[in-house]
Chain A
């Protein structure tokens, strides 16, 4: 599913060179539930940006679903994000002006899906996360947990091969956090590949496999099928 080899990423900020990744090799099998755990500044966000096709590595190779994406152009990367990856962010990142339904529908607009099918799929995704009664609410009218469920519905609607969750429980109270985690576990049980990025060992423990990252290098890998 995911294979990265010798991934490095060097930033140059105000003349200072920062090595965010110093050679990461990682393979994630289909239907795995992986947590990438590490303290802040460990390079886990950079890794997630590269795996999420928001960024390209300085050196190294990345195959997603059998295709080498480290060679793709901006437009092709957008296409990959649209079709193969569903994002769940710590701060939800819903569009504030739009209703839950319109938010969930958005990725399908960029895919060029017709209006009727779009609405049908968006409704189904919202039902899947238990928000059938809140479809026309704006994000501000929803609780944090509900907003994160809208975001999960948005990640699901395009039927991606990979769901990337970046600290999905980070801004939630513990009850809502548990709700979101159990939703992710359900999705995993239904056969989706999920990659979770967190600094919280409690959250990471709920994943099937934990990958530890520190100073831009993988330093531990537990519970994986491969290892």
Chain B
């Protein structure tokens, strides 16, 4: 008897006991459904957080200075010196403060960042319109500004901001560019800010100190070396570990993906338990079915069915029940995941791996929990089986 024939017999048996087959299937349906839905949502969360962290800039290291006593910041030159260290591709020192920005009768309170031309490449910003700051703007302390998308929306409400004059804490600046919208990330909104040349900002804020430096390493491998070097320099400068902090983006990414990965695994594991319970349900029903069909098994043995034939028939039956259940659960899970990501902000990743694992695992559950009942059926003594009622 070949597999196709065994399948035909199994489908016949499943069909002739529709309600029972469906209820048995339900265990696997719910199990696979839960696994697919939870793992997809978990993976969605992982990829979203990873994206956000990576969106902050590639190979990014952030140096924050909190200071110690009168030494509360670096000078601009000290910050720029960091660019010469090995493994460093670019450096963007930032002088920042809270300011009020006005255009016409609109005003907004926002963050001011004074920085250098390397800032967009270090922080992974794109310019939507116009241009970013140029080296000449820094040298000449030009009063030019690049606006974040949120600020543009508040002040200009749809009109073209390029070339307009805005007032930052009362000083007139010309808008030369607008940053592309980036969305919120772990540090809050990335679009609610005004960027001006660092030299201009030092004047405007009456503060010459650089408290934040964004540093881009040349490669992921160089990150650790750069971090170690930075820490050594800062230690020499401040002689206090609490005076500065070095954030390593790769480290954050590792931690975050570890946390979300564990969470996904845990959710999948809990859902997996329900799949296991579904499998036990299959085994239970198959055992009942073998007992009920003892006489039938006796008859087929008298007709010349070999052990293997009967083993196949029952094994295929439980595998078919379980993989059909797996398929239905997969479709339901897919439906739920699509619905959730459509109507809420949650992202869900429906990966081919999840599909493959769900289908293979449900097939495996069917075979694993079908082996014992099928074996029991195949080993029945034909004479005793024929005598059964």
Contact = CB atoms under 8 A, between A and B. Distances in A.
Interface of A: 49, 52, 54-55, 74-75, 78-83, 87, 89, 93-98, 106-107, 109-112, 154, 158
A75 B301 CA distance: 10
Interface stretch (B18-26, B45-53, B303-311): B303-311
Contact of A79 (B2, B9, B304): B304
B12 interface: yes
20 contacts: A49-B383, A52-B302, A54-B301, A78-B301, A78-B304, A78-B306, A78-B307, A81-B302, A81-B303, A81-B304, A82-B303, A89-B386, A93-B302, A93-B386, A94-B299, A95-B300, A96-B296, A97-B13, A97-B16, A110-B1
Contacts of A89: 386
Interface residues on chain B, size class: 20 to 34
Contacts of A111: 304
A73 to B, nearest CB: 10
B297 to A, nearest CB: 10
Nearest to A157: B303
Given A49-B383, A54-B383, A95 B296 contact: yes
A75 B308 CA distance: 9
Interface in B282-332: 295-296, 298-309
A103 to B, nearest CB: 9
B109 interface: no
Interface of B is mostly: helix
A49 B298 CA distance: 13
A81 B306 CA distance: 10
A110 B303 contact: yes
Nearest to A74: B307
B386 A110 contact: no
Contacts of A54: 301-302, 382-383, 386
B306 A110 contact: yes
Contact of B304 (A55, A82, A96): A82
A107 B299 contact: no
Contacts of B296: 95-96
Contacts of B302: 52, 54, 81, 87, 93
Given A54-B382, A55-B383, A109-B1, A97 B303 contact: no
B106 interface: no
B5 interface: yes
Contacts of A94: 299
Given A54-B382, A95-B296, A109-B5, A154 B13 contact: no
B12 A97 contact: yes
Contacts of B305: 78, 82, 110
Given A97-B12, A110-B1, A112-B1, A87 B303 contact: yes
A117 B303 CA distance: 18
A73 B158 CA distance: 89
A209 B212 CA distance: 112
Contacts of A80: 304
A89 to B, nearest CB: 8
Interface string B1-34: 1100100010011001000000000000000000
Given A54-B301, A109-B9, 16 more contacts: A55-B383, A74-B307, A75-B307, A80-B304, A81-B303, A87-B302, A93-B295, A93-B299, A93-B302, A95-B299, A106-B303, A107-B304, A109-B1, A110-B303, A110-B304, A110-B306
Nearest to B13: A97
A133 to B, nearest CB: 23
Contacts of B9: 109
A107 B13 CA distance: 17
B257 to A, nearest CB: 54
